[in-house]
Structure 1
Amino acid sequence: MAWRALQRCGGEVPSALAGVHQVRFASSGPLTALLGAASGLVTRPPSAYPTHMPLSGLEKGAVALLSLWGAFRDPRRGDLVAASGETTGLPALYAMRDRMRASETGRRILAERPLITDEVVAPCWDMPEHTFGGQYAKFMGTRGFLASGRPPCRFIDDPELAYVITRARQVHDFWHVLFGCHTNAFGEVALKAVEFVQTGLPMTGLAVLAGEWRLRPEDRALLNSQFLPWAVRAGARAPDLMCIYYEQHFREPLEELRLRWRIEVAPSAPQNTQKPPRRRAAEPPAAAAGSELAAGAGGGAAPAAAA
């Protein structure tokens, strides 16, 4: 009976042996798995892409704790927001990738891995104001944001998952435009709540809590009574926003896209509430044709969002 128990646990007992009980653990047994897990805590995986910074399990845990604390204390630290999103969001990233793989458009995005750069969005400056691209250019240009300004993914070992979180960061400002979210405290926190409903990334939920903590009591009451209920409703009503190829819809009217994608615009944000500091400064867009877009990528989803 002891031999059978060992066999069930991965051990192998030669039947030719008599009186001497020898056990050889198979390579797939529990002892090997335990040793492999322990090894992962102290050894680093090989580098998988140009910006990858391989970390051991213990190192990732330390980065997660320190970056979460730092990002909660100072949400303006985009590097800490990005690091915490990468080291705490793995289960959510797997779920996001699975949903993208189940969608025809999501599969195309994963296969082609488009990046939202200044060059890609430059044509938006010449588009009519009623189009999605025109409104995006107006949103970015008036704030001096750069589309290429997102921090690269560093701490996720799987290249495909690294792209997923990169995409989530880069489409953050598209979501600002679609949902009509201001970049003051109400707009940023409300949009992070939409992101949490859509993606499940822990960093987006933490951003909402940090935003609540930093608001004045009267602003916090307004956020909880109007903006967060809207965010939950709007995030649940919209389709999977990670499965939209936004770059192919720049020339379409914004209002038509909102109807097609079931986008509920955010409530009007009070203009006198606290505004977060500018995420980054940029030169005003040049008026000459062919100049680069001075548009930026703020928010969590950057290649987090926090995220």
Structure 2
Amino acid sequence: MMTGGRVKLNGWQQAAVAVGSAVGALLDPRRADLIAALGETTGKPAFERVLERMKRSPEGRAVLLERPRVISANVGHAWDLPPNTFGAAYAKFMGSRNFSPDDRPPVRFMETEEIAYVAARAREVHDFWHTLFDLPTNLIGESALKVIEFEQMLLPMCALSVAGGTARFSQSQRSLFYQHYFPWALRSGVKCTDLMCLYYERHFDEDLEDVRRRWGIIPAPPPPLRAA
């Protein structure tokens, strides 16, 4: 479900949830529910800006009108598409990690259905972005994608996640991230199209490299041999 019974918070409650979620997420970065709560309680202005951009984009408006959900019932056909397609690449990404599109936590702290949907959409297209940018789901890969997400949406949670994630890096991981992945992510997040205005599901049957070129996607470069 997109919403798990929305909760209306006053200013103090919102701040308390944000602080508690931030601390909890720093202690355990695997807590997707805490990261989601942090994104919602700190991200309303960013989601409102994304909503306005989507309204100005023909494809973004189609997404808002139809409100597609990235759930198994809607994307399961990707597993049957030719191997060169975007949809097949997404299916391979999900299947190789035993991920399910149904595992995303619901949106709870957005005030309106429209903003709640934008927040849910941002959460649900995360794995599409992993596929397009060819990023792994390890700590370095997630941190690099958070840089791109911040550039695309200006969500405070993304910046906090990068800071929290890199604090857990070893010295070699930190050097690899800041010398190799961080500069690439900065360039890629600026160069590509507005990723929240894309109706990804309509492009599943298209060639992966074609959609990357059309959307200005620069896949992550392989790490240096010494870091492999």
Are residue 117 (structure 1) and residue 71 (structure 2) matched?
A: yes
- 2:8 aligned to 54, 62, 79, which one? 54
| TM-score of the two chains, using structure 1 as the length reference | 0.71
Are residue 249 (structure 1) and residue 199 (structure 2) matched?
A: no
Report deviation, 1:270.
7.2
How far apart in 2 are the matches of 1:166 and 1:114? 10
2:24 is aligned to 70
| TM-score of the two chains, using structure 2 as the length reference | 0.95
How far apart in 2 are the matches of 1:59 and 1:220? 35
2:40 is aligned to 86
Larger Rg: 1
More helix by share: 2
Deviation digits for residues 137-189 of structure 1, max 9, x if unmatched? 11100100001110000011121111101000000000001001011222111
Q: Is the 8 A contact 2:89 2:131 kept in 1?
A: yes
How far apart in 2 are the matches of 1:218 and 1:207? 19
Compute the RMSD of aligned alpha carbons: 1.6
Q: Which segments of 5 or more consecutive residues in structure 2 lack a partner in the other structure?
A: none
1:233 is aligned to 187
How far apart in 2 are the matches of 1:232 and 1:208? 13
How far apart in 2 are the matches of 1:272 and 1:171? 32
Q: Is the 8 A contact 1:179 1:263 kept in 2?
A: yes
1:281 is aligned to none
Q: Is the 8 A contact 1:193 1:231 kept in 2?
A: yes
How far apart in 2 are the matches of 1:98 and 1:69? 31
Q: Is the 8 A contact 2:180 2:223 kept in 1?
A: no
Deviation digits for residues 51-89 of structure 1, max 9, x if unmatched? 211222221111111111111221111111010100001
Runs of 4+ displaced beyond 3 Å:
269-273
Q: 1:145 to 1:66 in 2, by over 3 A?
A: same
Report deviation, 1:236.
0.3
2:58 is aligned to 104
- 1:163 aligned to 103, 113, 117, which one? 117
- 2:161 aligned to 207, 216, 221, which one? 207
Length, aligned pairs only: 225
Are residue 180 (structure 1) and residue 129 (structure 2) matched?
A: no
Q: Percent identity?
A: 49
